[in-house]
Structure 1
Amino acid sequence: MEGSVRVRFAPSPTGFLHIGGLRTALYNYLFAKGNDGTFVLRIEDTDQSRYVEGAEEDIKESLKWVGMDIDEGPENSGDVGPYRQSERKDIYEEYAEQLVEQGNAYYAFDTPEELDQMRERLKKSGNPSPKYDAITRMSMKNSLTLPEEEVERKLEEGEEYVIRLKVPRRENIRFEDEVRGFVSFESKGLDDQVLIKSDGMPTYHLANVVDDHLMEISHVIRGEEWLSSTPKHILMYEYFGWEPPKMAHLPLIMSPSGGKLSKRKAESEGIPINTKDYIEQKFEPEALVNFLAYLGWSPGDDTEIHSMDELTDLFSLDRVSKGGAVFDYKKLIWYNEHYLREKPADELFPRVKAIANEHGIDPDEEYMKEIIPLMKDRVSKVEDFVTMGKFFFEDPEEYEEQAKKKWKDNSAELLQAYVDEIKEFDEDDFEAGKLKDKIKEIVEAHDVGWGPLMMPLRVAVSGMGYGPDLTPTLELLGKETTVRRIETAIEKLG
């Protein structure tokens, strides 16, 4: 690969970091790190009207949470800053003026009303998608149609204007996409893109071309929704006489029910849409990274579990898929369960303790560190240690409806037989193996299977019909608690 790899993640602070944005950042990051390159964070805040307070902080915190270190950005400047577009306004003006001087752009003085009239007029004459382009520009109010003196006067008097790109009427614009191969667009489908808005701020199109060039970006890796804007960018590179970076457009993230995963769809399908939601819902960051990496890419073998470092070694753009990737929430939970199981009790304890405290429980460290390994195979998220494991700290106040259905006519009788036996145990004998032998004895004596005793026993001690391995659970609860809970259940459920 010639030259050094420099990529950028360039979000707009118009809201919290969306999960699709996080995947774009991840692919940029993996590509940079796998090629000893540089990962740049650039904040594209030129649309001041849509600026959301706290959004930039959210972006930085999200990247930090998943473990993506920023090499250059607003906090740690390299030598191509500033890294916020709002602080680069003068740079863009200079380049837009250069295009005007070259005859590749022009001043347009049309008012919003005049633009609306133009669109209405074209719609009436049967044009379904009217735009300001090579054909319509000649009937509008701009520096191509007005006398030079009038243009000078308007500029001197400070009349509002925009600068538009002069898109050629008949040209085939072709470029190679690292994911899609060769892509070509007819210029007649493009409008004369606004480059500088009337407030003097650049649009995304001008700012991102100028910045990618000045920041020496080697590869632009972004979402598929920018594919149709790329020909305008390619034209600008041509006009400036610059070599464009390599382009790679990532597949859309699809909803399980079909179509693009929009905010509305995600909400209706119970999929958290912002990275912030995953942080608040206490997902394992490694699980989210592993899941997102596979959302549109695969290493080409059967492996599914990879750390960030391994992904860095494996990732390449030629293995990114062209088709949309379906967001499979169950798969994400599967990853989460995997990464929770990998973590030792020592590492999990402080997090579990904090959650327990929120639930009004103050767990003893030693006791909790015995509960964690016992529950590991049953939990999907870290708070399950507390919500599902609440019965380790307090007697069940009620029994779940589903659990009560497992209480049959002979349940009380079988439990009574069991509790009478285990009352005789010494504290030292109260251990999983011996408790299990005793269950076997009782079910054989009553000529029933394991279920008729195990199920009500679980309901009695936990109030639930599911949970961690039963006899080690009884051992942890201890003799006194186990006996008390069984007797209460017999009394309450009869």
Structure 2
Amino acid sequence: MQSGACVTRFAPSPTGFVTIGSLYATFISERLAHQSGGVFYLRIEDTDKKREVEGSLADMLRTMREFGIVIDEGPSSPEEEIGAYGPYTQSKRVAIYQTFIKDLVARGLAYPCFCDAEELQRIRDRQQEQGVNTGYYGKWAIHRRMPLDQVNEALDQGRPYVIRFQSPGQAGRQCAYTDLVKGEIHMPENEQDVVIMKSDGIPTYHFAHVIDDYLMGTTHVIRGDEWLSSVPIHHQLFEVLGFPKPAYGHIAPIMKMDGQSKRKFSKRKDPDAAASYYQLAGYPSEAIREYFMTLINAGFDGWRIAQPNELYSSFPIDIRKMSVSGALFDLNKLNDISKDVIARMEAREALDQLTAWAAQYDQPLASLLAEQDNYAISILNLGRASGKPRKDVKTWSDFKPGYGYLFDELFVPTTAMAELLPAHVPAAEARALVHDFLHDFDAADDRDTWFGKIKALAAARGYAAEMKQYKKQPDAYRGHVGDVAAVLRVALTGKVHTPDLYDMLQIMGRERIARRLAAF
């Protein structure tokens, strides 16, 4: 690769649904790799089989695909993977880990520990009585220098064991490094003899990720700051193994408002913690990615204003400028960004994305859009040709309640429509206005001719043809031309707020218009 290119990864455990927080961290890793001309890969850390949830991997792959996060290497499906540095699933790499563990044991840098839970608790109790740090270290690591004949005897007896890393750390010494996000970090050096292989022969996360990050060429690791305290352990393992360390960046969790205070998202309490929440709502993946860009670097907002038509990926992120305390997830801002993203789309692109969403979450709508493709395009084009597209759709799930009434299959006229009429226009008068309009309507009329007919109709029925006339003498008229238009709008759509009336008439066609007005 070229100089300065980053190799980053998303390394989830298949233990449940993808959260919006993990998607955010993944997006940062993807951007770092691809903006530098590097590689972004997926690795599945499935060594804890007890916690594995069936279908998690397929859900992760689908979620990444739907949110537009593209991997260069790793599992492309639950059965297949791409790339030359595999296997990319840790459960298939156990022999690799055990090879390195054997080497550490041979060099006196790791050892078998035969302590059971009761013995470990006795050590802990004595440490608490003496007021010293708890754990398995120094003189408390009772199997650290167990004679070989005793080790062989324990093995011959079939006693279960784990493999522990013999830490070179000492109390009072510091581990110092520069975090990509948090800057200079100083922490006590690790002195614990941590477990690197469990009794079932499977490595722990600490050991497996060090081996994998080295063998897979990882240069930058972005992860949650809950892993910050593990850096001293990981640095020791890299050093003892003789591997170059990747650069670590620890990001604070995304926060949300709860009343007047901020808190972390809860996987149990917050439906919006799941990435699937945003998929179901129908946020375009580009909107989510654009919003993530604003969370990573505040400067993106100004860049977007100055570059309204550029791809978000043209903005280079700088994780040194990220918030150390954690970004606040603002749903209102996401909604605004999503409206802008949809408004920038060509009608065909919008329809393709809408149909793809509906195919998963609203099959009847998907079928309707496919059957009436040209009409759907016309609907989505409303306002776009003017250069000032409407911004009343923030998610694809907004389309049906916002525009579904334009399809006869989704339009249900009811007597309740009368309640939407202007308060001073009785139902009988509204019917008369509709009748007279339909009599003179010509779909071929241009806008000026059409509106001239509306004004003539208003005058003939005792309404002011001009608003200024009505404002001067409100008592001289039954209402104004806007009331006439409002009646027609309700009769045609069952709505008070819609796109431009003339524009709608142009796409609905004479037959549909006549049918609806007659029904009214």
Q: Which TM-score applies when normalising by structure 1?
A: 0.84
Letter in 1 for 2:67: V
Deviation at 1:244, TM superposition (A): 1.0
* Corresponding residue for residue 389 of structure 1: 403
Deviation at 1:124, TM superposition (A): 7.5
Deviation at 1:331, TM superposition (A): 2.1
Q: Please state if 1:323 is matched with 2:354.
A: no
- Superposed, 1:331-370 pairs within 5 Å as 331-350=333-352, 352=354, 355=358, 358-359=364-365, 361=368, 363-370=371-378
* Corresponding residue for residue 7 of structure 2: 6
Q: Distance in 1 between matches of 2:281 and 2:92?
A: 35
RMSD: 3.4
**Are the equivalent residues in 2 in contact too, given 1:411–1:456 (CA < 8 A)?**
no
More divergent stretch after superposition (34-43 vs 64-73): 64-73
Deviation at 1:115, TM superposition (A): 3.5
Describe the SS at the equivalent of 1:247.
Answer: strand
- Superposed, 1:68-87 pairs within 5 Å as 68-74=69-75, 75-87=80-92
Q: Distance in 2 between matches of 1:4 and 1:481?
A: 59
Describe the SS at the equivalent of 2:60.
Answer: helix
**Are the equivalent residues in 1 in contact too, given 2:164–2:196 (CA < 8 A)?**
yes
* Corresponding residue for residue 196 of structure 1: 197
Q: Could you say if the C-alpha distance between residues 194 and 281 of structure 1 is closer, same or farther in structure 2, counting changes exceeding 3 Å?
A: same
More divergent stretch after superposition (347-356 vs 179-188): 347-356
* Corresponding residue for residue 465 of structure 1: 496
Deviation at 1:234, TM superposition (A): 0.8
**Are the equivalent residues in 2 in contact too, given 1:431–1:475 (CA < 8 A)?**
no
Deviation at 1:106, TM superposition (A): 3.2
Deviation at 1:101, TM superposition (A): 4.2
Describe the SS at the equivalent of 1:39.
Answer: strand
Q: Please state if 1:133 is matched with 2:136.
A: yes
**Are the equivalent residues in 1 in contact too, given 2:94–2:202 (CA < 8 A)?**
yes
* Corresponding residue for residue 404 of structure 1: 419
Structure 1 gap segments, 5+ residues each: 490-494
Letter in 2 for 1:56: L
* Corresponding residue for residue 302 of structure 1: 302
Q: Please state if 1:158 is matched with 2:158.
A: yes
Q: Could you say if the C-alpha distance between residues 71 and 122 of structure 1 is closer, same or farther in structure 2, counting changes exceeding 3 Å?
A: same
Q: Could you say if the C-alpha distance between residues 476 and 6 of structure 1 is closer, same or farther in structure 2, counting changes exceeding 3 Å?
A: closer
Q: Could you say if the C-alpha distance between residues 160 and 31 of structure 1 is closer, same or farther in structure 2, counting changes exceeding 3 Å?
A: same
Could you list the per-position Cα deviations for residues 211-263 of structure 1 after superposition, in whole angstroms to 9, with x for gaps in the alignment? 11222222122222221211110111222233211111223211132111222
Could you list the per-position Cα deviations for residues 25-56 of structure 1 after superposition, in whole angstroms to 9, with x for gaps in the alignment? 22122111222212222211111111222222
More divergent stretch after superposition (229-238 vs 345-354): 345-354
Q: Could you say if the C-alpha distance between residues 226 and 433 of structure 1 is closer, same or farther in structure 2, counting changes exceeding 3 Å?
A: farther
Q: Could you say if the C-alpha distance between residues 353 and 155 of structure 1 is closer, same or farther in structure 2, counting changes exceeding 3 Å?
A: closer
Q: Please state if 1:263 is matched with 2:263.
A: no
The structure, 1 or 2, with the larger RCO (C-alpha pairs under 8 Å, 6+ apart) is 1
Describe the SS at the equivalent of 1:304.
Answer: helix
Q: Could you say if the C-alpha distance between residues 282 and 400 of structure 1 is closer, same or farther in structure 2, counting changes exceeding 3 Å?
A: farther
Q: Could you say if the C-alpha distance between residues 20 and 99 of structure 1 is closer, same or farther in structure 2, counting changes exceeding 3 Å?
A: same
Describe the SS at the equivalent of 2:405.
Answer: helix
Could you list the per-position Cα deviations for residues 398-448 of structure 1 after superposition, in whole angstroms to 9, with x for gaps in the alignment? 4779x9366524353653453243133143456654454455552416363
More divergent stretch after superposition (246-255 vs 289-298): 289-298
Q: Distance in 2 between matches of 1:36 and 1:367?
A: 42
Describe the SS at the equivalent of 2:296.
Answer: coil
Deviation at 1:333, TM superposition (A): 2.2
Letter in 2 for 1:175: Y
Deviation at 1:454, TM superposition (A): 4.6
Could you list the per-position Cα deviations for residues 39-83 of structure 1 after superposition, in whole angstroms to 9, with x for gaps in the alignment? 222211111111222222222333333334322224454443222
Q: Distance in 1 between matches of 2:170 and 2:106?
A: 20
Letter in 1 for 2:268: R
Q: Distance in 2 between matches of 1:430 and 1:411?
A: 29
Q: Distance in 2 between matches of 1:62 and 1:192?
A: 38
Deviation at 1:161, TM superposition (A): 1.2
**Are the equivalent residues in 2 in contact too, given 1:29–1:39 (CA < 8 A)?**
yes
Deviation at 1:174, TM superposition (A): 0.9
Q: Distance in 2 between matches of 1:151 and 1:417?
A: 100
* Corresponding residue for residue 96 of structure 1: 101
Q: Distance in 2 between matches of 1:361 and 1:300?
A: 38
Q: Distance in 2 between matches of 1:367 and 1:419?
A: 24
Describe the SS at the equivalent of 1:295.
Answer: helix
**Are the equivalent residues in 1 in contact too, given 2:283–2:394 (CA < 8 A)?**
no
Q: Distance in 2 between matches of 1:406 and 1:104?
A: 83
Q: Please state if 1:237 is matched with 2:238.
A: yes
Structure 2 gap segments, 5+ residues each: 384-388, 466-476
Could you list the per-position Cα deviations for residues 352-375 of structure 1 after superposition, in whole angstroms to 9, with x for gaps in the alignment? 567486147464333222111127
Letter in 2 for 1:96: I
Q: Distance in 2 between matches of 1:350 and 1:399?
A: 35
**Are the equivalent residues in 2 in contact too, given 1:411–1:452 (CA < 8 A)?**
no
**Are the equivalent residues in 2 in contact too, given 1:104–1:166 (CA < 8 A)?**
yes
Deviation at 1:105, TM superposition (A): 3.4
Letter in 2 for 1:109: F
Q: 1:374 aligns with which of 382, 385, 389?
A: 382
Letter in 2 for 1:388: G
Q: Could you say if the C-alpha distance between residues 117 and 450 of structure 1 is closer, same or farther in structure 2, counting changes exceeding 3 Å?
A: farther
Q: 1:425 aligns with which of 435, 440, 448?
A: 440
